A and B are shown apart, each in its own frame.
Chain A
Amino acid sequence: MAERWVGSTITAMAAALREGRVTAVQLLSEAIAHRERTDSRINAFLARTDELAERQARAADERIQREGAAAPVLCGIPVALKDVLCLDGVATTASSLIIEGFLPPYTGTAVQRLLDQGAVVVGKTNCDEFAMGSSNENSAYGPVGNPWDVERVPGGSSGGSAASVAAGVVPYSLGSDTGGSIRQPAALTGTVGFKPTYGRVSRYGLIAFASSLDQIGPFTNTVEDTAHVYRAIAGHDPLDSTSSTAAVEDPLETLHEGVAGMRLGVPSEYFAEGLEPGVRARVEEAIETLRSLGASIEEVSLPSTDAGLSTYYILAPAECSSNLARFDGVRFGKRSEEASLLRSYLATRGAGFGPEVKRRIMLGTYALSSGYYDAYYRKAQKVRTVIAGEFARVFEQVDALVCPTSPTVAFTQGAREDPLAMYLCDVLTIPVNLAGLPGISLPCGLSEGLPVGLQVIGPRFQDARVLRVAHAYEQASGVTALRSPMVAEAAAA
């Protein structure tokens, strides 16, 4: 039987659940069927949580029966979780061998908030190991295929979360974004990917890569769906000291207010050499669409954009070198037993981490080590101040920024073996993390048959404004209809 709900949205599913046109149990079985149809090609899923999901779906159906329209929007809707998010009793690997078999004895806050809403978890998604990468090729469990062309990468590090939505398996998923790990794969898979303001979503339960940069956020098919998920997961958490206590504005209230009269900045440095012409063309068209909707478009400058990459590749590895020290084979994970503790440490970590993770641990350890701290770490922290300051000044002139998310469309697997070439993938997304800003990527058309992402960036805590701009563009352009070929397979089945 053809799956009717594959590729649908949270909003549509939620309405149908309330009107009795579908049940959560049916949505789940469609999701599982489509997951099994596609996953041999895209490898988006690691742990499958079907038994848990069955229980959750039945509970959600009862809740919708009981509460009707008052039931939370996400109640009964299937979701996939990036495998760096801890869920009590469910294998969590961070796509690494080093904690194969690890069953967290607790659930992270963002995930718990989804569960409280009645979410139905269909599995944990593949990603770059410990969220380090831009192509999802750095997974110990194999690469993820892009649903638009399985020979191509889905982007990374949240490649599996992006692909699971792009393929139509789930209407939404959670990822994490440290230097673009939500927005860049969203761009490459034609999905909507949102990184909230740093501090908006609790990091408790997110296996840390770089603590001062990491933020959890959703992948969806529409900006409105993103607003729903954001509303569910955002807000203060006493278990995360860096989580903001400021009240969360409701993005749905302002979502439809449009961009007429808004000042939108176009940072010239984001259109530099290395930007594919097709990407440039789609993004410029998108900017014209926004102008036609009444926004005033202003060219602005963020001169230190280039230095962002260097800053990031000091700060993030430095933090990761420390964050990953706990993977020592003592309390959890896999240990390579040797004659002494020191040799066990060396063997466990040498064998357990993949090449990119080891490279970043080495880089970060070096940057923090005696004699180099000032030249690298301290210098990078100062440049971070400069970059944040440039954004702050620009936001005195404009309400939001619009620019490309990724300089390129999805590239072929194996095409970027040089680490430095791979690092360039994130040149347009990293500065947002360094400054702690909210940023979204949403589809703005195709180039060479592959999705292109438009990035909207706002000032800190103006998450709702970012969604409003994105929504205005999305409604005007009609790209909500952009769906990967895999979605259609369900209807054909």
Chain B
Amino acid sequence: MTTQQVESRGLEGTGYEAVIGLEVHAQLLTRSKMFCGCSTAYFDAPPNSNVCPVCLGLPGTLPVMNREAVEKTVLTALALNCEIPPFTKFDRKNYFYPDLPKGYQISQYDLPLSRNGFLEFAVDGRTVRAGVTRVHLEEDTGTLKHAGDLIHEATSSLVDLNRAGVPLMEIVGEPDLRTAEEAREYVTRLRQVLMYIGVNDGSMERGSLRCDANVSLRRAGASEFGTKVEIKNMNSFRAVHRALDYEIARQLQVLQSGGTLVQETRGWIETEGRTVSQRSKEQAHDYRYFPEPDLPPLQLDSAYVERVRGRLSELPDARRRRFESQYGLSAYEAAILIASREDADVYEGLVSAGVPAKLAANWQIGDVARLANAHHVPLHRSGLGVAGLAALLRLVDTGTINGTTAKELLDELYIPGGDPLAVVSERGLGQVNDAGELGTVVGEVIAANLKAVADFRGGKEQALGSLVGQVMKATRGRADAKMVNALLRERIGG
């Protein structure tokens, strides 16, 4: 079938609207696993090296809760405007799979750690508020490697339990999203928030942030839902957008051609740009949830919740608004500068080191971003660092060097680092703004370019530019351009 491009919120003209709810799993940035002391640094570790009797699910072992994982989940719930009920507990979700060592996942069923929150984000200048049903805490599974990489062709699979037991949040969204675009922006904003508050590293490629979607179509304006399809295996923002676009178009076509949809799970196949049914022969799941007898419940009183709230740093939206008002930045500039907490911290570091707000913004958004991209090294981890850049920009601000010099120095010092002031004085790169010294050069340039002088006097304004260029050349770019302009006009009139 062909994919129709569906971009608008209401699938205009079709009489249908899409209903999308996202379920995001986010690994928590803790040092140890959820229920044992094994390190969470499993990525790239040799298989089954990050394990102990507990996370191997050996007979006789018992889970002990990681306090920080609970706290970071509460922190997340607060950032997503959720309620924290005074009583919560863990449950066992029972099913057999080789990446699940105990034959059950310790998760939360009917009394999750938090519920009833929301997340706001902008799409095309419009603010969308999407409900967050719940944020609960569970444990991650191990990972499987299939011979030949394809599960349905593999004659055997290999089990690595390094990831088993890593603390995992499940963030369930309300079916409040209407387009693939909204879904992508929801995940983008959610990721930004999780990274801001330091609970998740935001890596969809590594799988520390994973997203599933429930998609259905219904008659525009209807209140009941259509047949729901679950989409899995969307491993990037782009995949979320493409997969949902595809799925909405697929469902629309089925409905418009008079067909009926089946409730099913479909996987997104990135290379083929389509979703395919994952119906397996296995019968319907029955997870037989029941309260985890090995873990006492949690009673998180308001004192606890308020203490965690105290750990909550300024969230992206609030920081953007503050940047606009406090630093006089445009909405565009502010949005770029707060994109990550590190970027925003860098910006405020520059300003508090004495760089004027606008100057700092221009440089950070422009040349610094360019270099960070080119070298794959953000400023705060470059040799120059925030302090070095601030020193450089202060030289610009005081007129000690001009923009061209600053840019050259930035390129040169970004990776190795260095003291910009020392380099400037050592190489004599300071801006020439002495009227006497510049006057001599200007006089020589006029004498050598009489044709240009005549052109200018004859009304050719551009001729001045070439004279300025000659002066800059003669001073190896160090001349104060403003002063050169003024001196030329003074000498040749106009």
Contacts and interface: CB of A to CB of B under 8 A. Distances in A.
Interface of A: 84-86, 92, 94, 99, 102, 104-106, 108, 203-208, 210-212, 238-242, 318-319, 321-322, 324-328, 330-332, 341-342, 345, 365, 368-370, 373, 377
B444 interface: no
A127 to B, nearest CB: 14
B290 A204 contact: no
Given A106-B53, A241-B65, A325-B104, A208 B296 contact: no
Contacts, number: 107
22 contacts: A86-B58, A86-B60, A102-B59, A104-B58, A108-B60, A204-B60, A206-B60, A210-B293, A240-B64, A241-B64, A241-B295, A242-B293, A319-B293, A325-B94, A326-B57, A327-B59, A328-B98, A331-B161, A332-B58, A345-B96, A365-B288, A369-B288
A318 B92 CA distance: 11
B363 to A, nearest CB: 52
Interface string B95-112: 010100111100000000
Please report whether the interface of chain B is mostly helix, strand, loop or mixed according to DSSP.
Answer: loop
A29 B282 CA distance: 56
Contacts of B295: 241-242
Contacts of B101: 326, 330-331
Contacts of A204: 60-62
Given A204-B62, A322-B288, A325-B104, A330 B294 contact: no
A330 B282 CA distance: 19
Contacts of B61: 106, 204-205
A240 B295 CA distance: 9
Contacts of A242: 62, 293-296
Given A204-B60, A322-B92, A326-B102, 9 more contacts: A104-B60, A203-B62, A204-B62, A205-B61, A212-B293, A242-B294, A242-B295, A332-B59, A368-B290
Contacts of B65: 241
B246 to A, nearest CB: 31
**Across chains A and B, which 4 residue pairs bring their CB atoms closest together, nearest first?**
A325-B103, A368-B288, A211-B293, A212-B293
A108 B489 CA distance: 91
B103 A106 contact: no
B286 interface: yes
A205 B59 CA distance: 7
Interface string B34-64: 0000000000000000000100111111111
Contacts of B103: 322, 324-326, 328
Interface in B9-35: none
B96 A325 contact: yes
A57 B77 CA distance: 56
Contacts of A368: 94, 288-290
A275 to B, nearest CB: 32
Contacts of B294: 208, 211, 241-242
Nearest to B93: A322
B387 interface: no
B315 interface: no
Nearest to B296: A241
Contacts of B204: none
B357 interface: no
A160 B159 CA distance: 37
